[in-house]
Structure 1
Amino acid sequence: MRSRLAMYLPPFAADYSGVCSALFPLGGMICIHDASGCTGNYALFDEPRWYGSCSSVYCTGLRKTDAALGDDEKLIRKICAAAHELKPAFIAIVGSPVPNVIGFDFRGVARELEAELGIPAFGFPTAGMEGSYQDGIAEAWHTLFARFAQGKQSREARTLNLCGLSPLDLTETEEAYFAARLRSAGYRVRSTGLDNIRHFGSATVNLALTTAGFRVAKEAEKIFGTPYLAGFPIGEEAWKSYFEMLFATEESGVSRVFAPEAGGEEKHQTKASWLLFHDALIAHSLRNYLRSRGKEVHCKTVFPGQEAEDLGVEVCVKEERIAERINEEGFDGIAADPLLLALRSKKGIAELSLPQHAVSSRVCEKERWNLLDEEAWKYRIESEEER
């Protein structure tokens, strides 16, 4: 038990938060089946879009007697009453630890709701115990594809899908920044929305900026045959390489992970060594940029997955292991979420704050900045290295 105990770090965003985050902007009614704790965790801490939003996220108000006696009809009646009033595009029942312990049939109840209401209904047996938010986002998109995506579709020239984006990884500002650059080059960019999901297979290339998006892009390739380009550029030289690789992906239909040729080493001979913690694909993209500035970068992530291994990013799940890595000697700088940086007992090296909402939630929200903006990187790196 000691190896799984977290003394200093908060619980990271769980799978149910990932499902809710993916479904949040789609006009459905999300019902988190719990006594209000997990709903509060999601709405108040894992969802920065919650305040000022009209999205329908509800707690089912699970009580001890309901858990013990299994009164599913009561839950169905409550959801039906709300659905008659709200008329949502779909209904999602999302799991939490207690209903999973008692064996609640999420998909069975969803089928009953759909039969009674005539509205698409989905059950997600998430448990909030093992899987991360990345698993939840991937599961939500898998379900959306299965239900809403049309079959074989003709390709629409220069049309791109942004896959699996969530503010748990990148802010809406960063998404808009990236999309605007693509549109300025003449591309049509699609992100959220049920209509976009229905026509998902018509894009020429799917773009993944995060690990969750990487998983969605790989599934979309299996379903629609659409190639993907994973990773994002930072800086003008990287954008040139990115557009070249995007064009090659369009022409060949072969998926790629963005990795521009190493450059800048003649300009930057310092070869400073940095440790970097983030989402695996984001960390990979940031490593590309820092290498272009002549830095040796060692990437870690606190969220497990095959993608991290494939990208050469070490997974550190346990707090004890994270602390060991954070306090390793031999680095000139470290870039990580402020809560991870707080685990470092040794000072004297550059520390660059990279808030990750899935890790530190609203605690460090005001410290988030545009990771895709090269000028922001230059300012922060120079400021930290001059200390």
Structure 2
Amino acid sequence: MSLVRFLPTPSDRMGIIWSLLAVQGAIVLEYGPAGTTHYSMGLYGGLGLRFQNRLFTTHMSEDDVVMGDVTRLEEAIIELDKSYAPKVIFIVASSVTAVIGTDIKGVCRYMQNEVKAKLVAFEQGGFRGDYSVGLAETYKLLVRNLPQKDATQEAGVYNIIGASAWRYRMASDIWEVKSLLGEALGLRCNACLCCDTSVDELQAMGKAQVNIVLGNEGLAAAQYLEEKFGTPYVYAVPYGYSGTVSFLEQVGAAVGKASEPIVLMRIKMKEKGMSMLSMFAMMGGSKPRQAAVKGDYDLV
């Protein structure tokens, strides 16, 4: 691990696991040493994710690493399927299994006939980039593996893609987006990738009338859903009053509805009030102050 002044930037593997833990009805199984999983659990708990009976590790011995034995992984898959009956088991590589090149996809392929749960493999072990790379890979693999092909599109339904639990107050922002779209356009959220969603909601993603992308990591997934189901997507981040109005206009255009005038008027009145505060500050002789802004690209 490289020397850093503060906490290191989470890897792609970390982004994958915290995204998958937000999917209820599924289990995350990490194929690697127990210490690797234990090291990460403090972060997942800090993000407010519930991982009791949902995050497991196979552990590995030196013989497993040297000989490439996957017996522990096979037995763990069968045990979790029998004990918890999850709808999906996500198999995630650790840094150790990524280094030795374990074919996790191959194991899932032949083990699928042995279990009832759907097996989905994630072979990124923390060497392909930071957490944003892991988020993008997670969204892509989820939309390629879980949505049912025979879903019928429903008017007024949307999915959110690109909501990472790592982002500051993401759950609060998602609540605000849902409230805003419900009040202004009468829309209802189906699935939210990946912030407190479920396997059932992911399977029904094809019924959405529009997909809303809140982060650039979700663009590839939204483009795939557009090709697969013909669902248009809107890539917009509703931060700031003018940004919120633009967001509502884009979503409304995608679903063929106009926003409620009273909602737009309320937002514009708040924006006007803020501009008045700026004017009063200038009249009082206050000088603009400099600030440094740090965060994910879309939020900044």
Following superposition of structure 1 onto structure 2, how do residues 235-384 of structure 1 map, counting pairs within 5 Å? 235-251=240-256, 274-283=291-300
Please, which of 122, 125, 132 is the counterpart of residue 130 of structure 2? 132
- Range with bigger deviation, 263-272 or 176-185: 263-272
- The answer to which structure, 1 or 2, has the higher relative contact order (CA under 8 A, 6+ apart) is 2
Following superposition of structure 1 onto structure 2, how do residues 107-146 of structure 1 map, counting pairs within 5 Å? 107-146=105-144
The structure-2 alpha-carbon separation of the partners of 1:198 and 1:142, relative to structure 1 and needing over 3 Å to count, comes to same
How far the C-alpha of 1:235 sits from its partner, in A, is 4.4
Structure 2 counterpart of 1:187, one-letter code: L
The structure-2 alpha-carbon separation of the partners of 1:214 and 1:281, relative to structure 1 and needing over 3 Å to count, comes to farther
Please, which of 63, 73, 92 is the counterpart of residue 90 of structure 2? 92
Residue 224 of structure 1 corresponds to which residue in structure 2? 229
CA distance in 2, matches of 1:235, 1:138: 25
Do structure 1's residue 29 and structure 2's residue 46 form an aligned pair? no
The structure-2 alpha-carbon separation of the partners of 1:100 and 1:182, relative to structure 1 and needing over 3 Å to count, comes to same
Residue 380 of structure 1 corresponds to which residue in structure 2? none
Do structure 1's residue 188 and structure 2's residue 205 form an aligned pair? no
Contact 1:157 1:204 in 2 (8 A): yes
The structure-2 alpha-carbon separation of the partners of 1:209 and 1:88, relative to structure 1 and needing over 3 Å to count, comes to same
Structure 1 counterpart of 2:124, one-letter code: T
How far the C-alpha of 1:96 sits from its partner, in A, is 1.6
CA distance in 1, matches of 2:53, 2:160: 21
The structure-2 alpha-carbon separation of the partners of 1:197 and 1:74, relative to structure 1 and needing over 3 Å to count, comes to closer
C-alpha RMSD of matched pairs (Å): 2.9
Residue 372 of structure 1 corresponds to which residue in structure 2? none
Secondary structure of residue in 1 paired with 2:293: strand
The structure-2 alpha-carbon separation of the partners of 1:144 and 1:36, relative to structure 1 and needing over 3 Å to count, comes to same
Identity value in percent = 24
CA distance in 1, matches of 2:223, 2:290: 32
CA distance in 2, matches of 1:240, 1:164: 20
How far the C-alpha of 1:206 sits from its partner, in A, is 1.1
The structure-2 alpha-carbon separation of the partners of 1:13 and 1:74, relative to structure 1 and needing over 3 Å to count, comes to same
Secondary structure of residue in 1 paired with 2:121: strand
The structure-2 alpha-carbon separation of the partners of 1:14 and 1:243, relative to structure 1 and needing over 3 Å to count, comes to same
Residue 176 of structure 1 corresponds to which residue in structure 2? 175
How far the C-alpha of 1:244 sits from its partner, in A, is 1.7
Please, which of 158, 161, 167 is the counterpart of residue 160 of structure 1? 158
Secondary structure of residue in 1 paired with 2:211: strand
Secondary structure of residue in 1 paired with 2:217: helix
The structure-2 alpha-carbon separation of the partners of 1:139 and 1:29, relative to structure 1 and needing over 3 Å to count, comes to same
The structure-2 alpha-carbon separation of the partners of 1:63 and 1:123, relative to structure 1 and needing over 3 Å to count, comes to same
How far the C-alpha of 1:271 sits from its partner, in A, is 6.8
CA distance in 2, matches of 1:229, 1:247: 10
CA distance in 2, matches of 1:154, 1:75: 37
How far the C-alpha of 1:222 sits from its partner, in A, is 3.2
Where in structure 2 are there 5+ consecutive unaligned residues? 258-271
How far the C-alpha of 1:69 sits from its partner, in A, is 1.8
The structure-2 alpha-carbon separation of the partners of 1:146 and 1:216, relative to structure 1 and needing over 3 Å to count, comes to closer
Residue 291 of structure 1 corresponds to which residue in structure 2? none
CA distance in 1, matches of 2:12, 2:53: 19
Do structure 1's residue 38 and structure 2's residue 36 form an aligned pair? yes
How far the C-alpha of 1:47 sits from its partner, in A, is 4.8
Residue 263 of structure 2 corresponds to which residue in structure 1? none
Residue-by-residue CA offset, 1:294-350 (whole Å, 9 max, x unaligned):
xxxxxxxxxxxxxxxxxxxxxxxxxxxxxxxxxxxxxxxxxxxxxxxxxxxxxxxxx
Contact 1:209 1:282 in 2 (8 A): no
Secondary structure of residue in 1 paired with 2:299: helix
Contact 1:44 1:50 in 2 (8 A): no
Contact 1:26 1:194 in 2 (8 A): yes
Structure 2 counterpart of 1:7, one-letter code: V
Contact 2:92 2:121 in 1 (8 A): yes
How far the C-alpha of 1:53 sits from its partner, in A, is 4.8
Please, which of 69, 72, 76 is the counterpart of residue 71 of structure 1? 69
Structure 1 counterpart of 2:222, one-letter code: A
CA distance in 1, matches of 2:9, 2:109: 31
Residue 260 of structure 2 corresponds to which residue in structure 1? none
The structure-2 alpha-carbon separation of the partners of 1:239 and 1:226, relative to structure 1 and needing over 3 Å to count, comes to same
CA distance in 2, matches of 1:154, 1:118: 25
CA distance in 1, matches of 2:139, 2:107: 20
How far the C-alpha of 1:55 sits from its partner, in A, is 4.9
Structure 1 counterpart of 2:154, one-letter code: E
Please, which of 81, 84, 103 is the counterpart of residue 101 of structure 2? 103
Where in structure 1 are there 5+ consecutive unaligned residues? 253-262, 284-387
CA distance in 2, matches of 1:169, 1:215: 19
Report the number of matched residues. 271
Secondary structure of residue in 2 paired with 1:206: strand
Do structure 1's residue 12 and structure 2's residue 9 form an aligned pair? yes
